[in-house]
Amino acid sequence: MTTTTSDHPDDTGATATDTLSRRDLLGKTAAAGLGLSAASVFNILPVHAQPSSQPAPVLKNSKIVLGLIGCGGMGSANMRTLMGKPEIEVAALCDVDESRMGGDIAEVEKKYGKKPETYKDYRKMLERKDINAVIVGTPDHWHALNQIHASEAGKDSYCEKPISHNIVEAKSMVGAAKRYNSIVQVGTWQRSTREFVSAVEYIRSGKLGKITTVRAWKTDGSRMGQNKPGTAVPATFDYDRWIGPAAFVPYIPNYTHGNWRWFFNYGSGMTGDWGVHMMDIGLLGMSKTWDLVMPTEVSAYGGKLAWPDDDRTAPDTHVAIMKFSNPDFVLHWETGRKPLDGGPDHGTEFIAADGKSVMVWRGGWKVVDADGKELPKEEAPGTNDHWQNWIDCVKTRTQPRSNLLSMAQSTIVCHLANAALLAGETVRWDKNKMDIVGKAGKNTLSYQRPYRKPYKLPIYPI
Ligand SMILES: NC(=O)c1ccc[n+]([C@@H]2O[C@H](COP(=O)([O-])OP(=O)(O)OC[C@H]3O[C@@H](n4cnc5c(N)ncnc54)[C@H](O)[C@@H]3O)[C@@H](O)[C@H]2O)c1
Per-residue pLDDT tens over the stretch 203-221:
999 999 999 999 999 999 9
Dist. CA 326 → ligand 1 center (Å): 37
Beta carbon of 67 within 6 Å of any ligand 1 atom: no
Residue 51: its pLDDT value, please? 37
Q: Domain boundaries in the chain?
A: 192-228+252-384+411-437
Distances (CA, A) of 436 to 134, 179, 298, 447: 31, 23, 11, 9
pLDDT tens string 288-305: 999 999 999 999 999 999
Q: Is 207 exposed, middle or buried (0-12, 13-18, 19+ CB in 10 A)?
A: middle
Tell me, what's the pLDDT at 320?
98
Q: Do 285 and 350 touch, CB atoms closer than 8 A?
A: yes
Q: How far is the CA of 159 from the centre of ligand 1 (A)?
A: 10
Query: What single string gives the DSSP state of each residue in 242-272?
Result: HHTTSPP----GGGSTTGGGGSTTT--HHHH
Q: Is 124 in the pocket of ligand 1 (CB under 6 A)?
A: no
- 75 in Cβ contact with 68 (< 8 Å): yes
Mutation pick for ligand 1 pocket among 74, 263, 278 (CB with most ligand atoms within 8 Å) = 74
Could you give the CA distance from residue 27 to residue 19 in angstroms, rounded to a whole number? 11
Mean pLDDT of 51-70: 72
149 close to 177: Cβ distance less than 8 angstroms: no
Residue 62: which pLDDT band, with cuts at 50, 70 and 90?
confident
pLDDT tops 90 at residue 22:
no
423-432: pLDDT as tens digits: 999 999 999 9
Q: How far is CA 238 from CA 96, 121, 126, 243, 453, in A?
A: 5, 10, 19, 9, 16
Of 80, 96, 104, 118, best ligand 1 pocket probe by most atoms within 8 Å of the beta carbon: 96
Q: How far is the CA of 226 from the centre of ligand 1 (A)?
A: 23
Q: Is 140 in the pocket of ligand 1 (CB under 6 A)?
A: yes
Q: Which of 24-33, 204-213, 221-230 has the lowest mean pLDDT?
A: 24-33
Distance from residue 220's CA to the centre of ligand 1 (Å):
19
Whether ligand 1 lies within 6 angstroms of the CB of 164 is answered as no
pLDDT, residue 383, reads: 93
Q: How far is CA 425 from CA 298, 334, 336, 453, in A?
A: 9, 17, 20, 31
**Is there an atom of ligand 1 within 6 Å of 267 CB?**
no
The model's pLDDT over 94-106, given as tens digits with 9 standing for 90+, comes to: 999 999 999 999 9
Task: Classify each residue of 42-51 as buried b or exposed e, where b means 16 or more C-beta atoms within 10 Å of its C-beta.
Answer: bebbbbbbee
Say how many Å lie between the CA of residue 176 and the centre of ligand 1. Answer: 21
Is the model's pLDDT at 229 over the cut of 50?
Answer: yes
Give exposure, 431-448, as e/b (b: 16+ Cβ within 10 Å). beebbbeeebbbebbbbb
What is the pLDDT at residue 296?
98
Atom of ligand 1 nearest to the CA of 73: 16
The correct answer on CATH 3.10.20.440 for the domain covering 192-228+252-384+411-437 is no
pLDDT given at position 201: 97
Share of the chain above pLDDT 70, in %: 87
Nearest residue by C-alpha to atom 31 in ligand 1: 242
- Mean pLDDT over 184-211 rounds to 98
- What are the pLDDT digits (tens) for 306-317? 999 999 999 999
Q: Whose CA is nearest to atom 36 of ligand 1?
A: 70
**What is the predicted pLDDT for the residue at 342?**
74
For residues 190-202, give the mean pLDDT: 98
For range 48-71, the mean pLDDT: 68
Among the atoms of ligand 1, which is closest to the Cα of residue 8? 5
258 lines ligand 1 (CB under 6 A): yes
Atom of ligand 1 at shortest range from CA of 257 = 19
Q: Is the pLDDT of residue 53 over 90?
A: no
- Asked whether 137 lines ligand 1 (CB < 6 A), one says yes
* CB distance 400 to 185 below 8 Å: yes
Provide the mean pLDDT of the chain: 89
> What is the Å distance from ligand 1's center to 137 Cα?
4
* Ligand 1 closest atom vs CA 119: 33
pLDDT tens track for 101-146: 999 999 999 999 999 999 999 999 999 999 999 999 999 999 999 9
Span from the CA of 268 to the centroid of ligand 1 (angstroms): 13
Strands of the sheet with 435-437, listed across from one edge = 374-375, 364-368, 357-361, 346-352, 211-219, 329-336, 317-324, 297-303, 427-430, 435-437
Distance (Å) from CA 177 to ligand 1 centroid:
21
Give distance in angstroms: CA of 430 to centre of ligand 1. 31
Predicted TM-score (pTM) above 0.85: yes
User: What percent of the chain has a predicted confidence (pLDDT) above 90?
Assistant: 84
* 231 or 212: which leads in pLDDT: 212
Out of 48-62, 282-296, 372-386, pick the least confident.
48-62
Confidence of residue 395 (pLDDT cuts 50, 70, 90): very high
Q: What is the pLDDT of residues 244-284, one digit of tens each?
A: 999 999 999 999 999 999 999 999 999 999 999 999 999 99
User: Residues 148-169: pLDDT tens digits?
Assistant: 999 999 999 999 999 999 999 9
- Nearest residue (CA) to ligand 1, atom 25: 70
Is pLDDT of 386 > 50?
yes
